[in-house]
Amino acid sequence: MAAVLRRAGKPLSLERLEIDGPRDDEVLVHIAASGICRTDIDWCEAGGPLPAVVGHEGAGMVVEVGRRVKDVERGAHVVLSYQSCGGCSACVEGHPAACARFFELNFGFQRLDGTSAYSASGVRGHFFGQSSFATFALATERNIVKVDRALPLEVLSPLGCGLQTGAGTVIHSLGATAGHSVAIFGVGTVGLAAVMAARIVEADPIIAVDIRPQRLAIACELGATHAVCARHTDVERIARITGHGVDRVVESTGDRALARAGLELLSPGGRMALLTGGATRDLPRGRKVMSVIQGDAVPQTFIPRLIQLWQRGDFPFDRLLRYYDFSDVNRAIADANRGRAIKPVLRMTLRRQVERARVPRTHRG
């Protein structure tokens, strides 16, 4: 069963599809839950290769593995993240988020060789190497993270993209440390993850900027020291909070006015991360603006770290989650668009007992 997008801007339809079993280098996962990311929603609204199955924050249990898979076994509980090739220089050097074939693998809706495990059903899949708006998904060892079987998969599922991106941007991309001032424009899932990460590294002050008062209130509960309404963004007001500009800026909204405000705020030597695209460039006085993908995180090491922080109570991302049955996927998307849900999570309640799941037919290639 999958949520299929057949027309851009229209509701997804739940349909029974046929999916091939895993190839030698693939893993078949029975999805227990999937977060809904802004990228999923944007794709549903704008469209692309259709019909298609999106979703890229899946979590579930491995039910079948290909013959060349070494480190993932049947029965393992896993969180799914973005896909990378493993062979380019960036991947070899340990920077999979900079993979030379990132776009093809995550937005190409097919394998690199042009084939698709969904061809028998006449739909596109392999979104971010998973297409997790479904009860079954194919992945590889490169976008799978094994987790403790005792942990709730429905809680862990959103770690694969938005939360990883926000936290990773602060910790990896911007290199924020104790005493750095941090301003975060937009405190949805990604921005709130950035707020929590800034608190973890002991940044101060931590300034949250958004148009929704309730989001700003949550940001303050999660670690922001100051809250500023984006409808009346006053660069001088933010600068007065620090007294000297801002050392680190996270821009997650795509709003040009906020991006300009971030540039004006950067202190000498400061860094600004653009999470919705933009050119990386060096500016006078040692300032730097960078386009960041996935928080420059390596999922297999960073997601376990985030889980440990959550277990200690230092990264309480579960406060952001709102759960929906899979059949309510369109309501979940609508609630996210209207600001009623920060991070919707789909629970695949159509088949709760993953241990008894019927595995789709196997394809070896």
pLDDT tens-digit readout, 177-205: 999 999 999 999 999 999 999 999 999 99
- 324 is a domain residue: yes
Q: Is pLDDT of 128 > 70?
A: yes
Taken in order 68, 72, 73, 75, is the CA torsion positive or negative? negative
The mean of the pLDDT values for the chain is 92
Average pLDDT over residues 318-334: 97
Residue 361 has pLDDT above 80, yes or no: no
Residue 321's SS3 state is strand
Domains in the chain: how many in total?
Answer: 2
Is the residue at 135 inside a domain? yes
Encode pLDDT of 133-165 as tens digits.
999 999 999 999 999 999 999 999 999 999 999
CB distance 65 to 146 below 8 Å: no
Is residue 119 very low, low, confident or very high in pLDDT (cuts 50, 70, 90)? very high
Mean pLDDT of 245-253: 95
Q: Which of 2-6, 142-146, 262-266, 354-358 has the lowest mean pLDDT?
A: 354-358
Domain that holds residue 242: 165-294
Higher pLDDT, 187 or 258: 187
What single DSSP character describes residue 230? G
- The answer as to whether 185 is a domain residue is yes
Per the domain annotation, does 311 fall within a domain? no
pTM of the model: 0.92
Could you tell me if 119 and 248 lie in one domain?
no
In a 13 Å sphere around the CA of 193, the CA atoms on its Cβ side amount to 31
Q: What pLDDT score was predicted for residue 354?
A: 37
Q: 364 and 24 in contact (C-beta within 8 Å)?
A: yes
pLDDT at 327 over 90: yes
Overall average pLDDT of the 44-69 stretch: 95
Residue 114 pLDDT greater than 70, yes or no? yes
Do 89 and 204 fall within a single domain?
no
Residues 50 and 81 in one domain: yes
First vs last Cα of the chain: how many Å apart?
Answer: 24
Residue 45, both tokens: 């609204």
Give the model's pLDDT for residue 282: 83
What is the distance between the alpha carbons of residues 10 and 12, in angstroms, rounded to a whole number? 7
Radius of gyration of the chain (CA): 20
- Report strand pairing: 226-229 vs 206-210: parallel
Return d(Cα 135, Cα 117) in angstroms, integer.
Answer: 14
C-alpha 330/C-alpha 316 separation (Å) is: 26
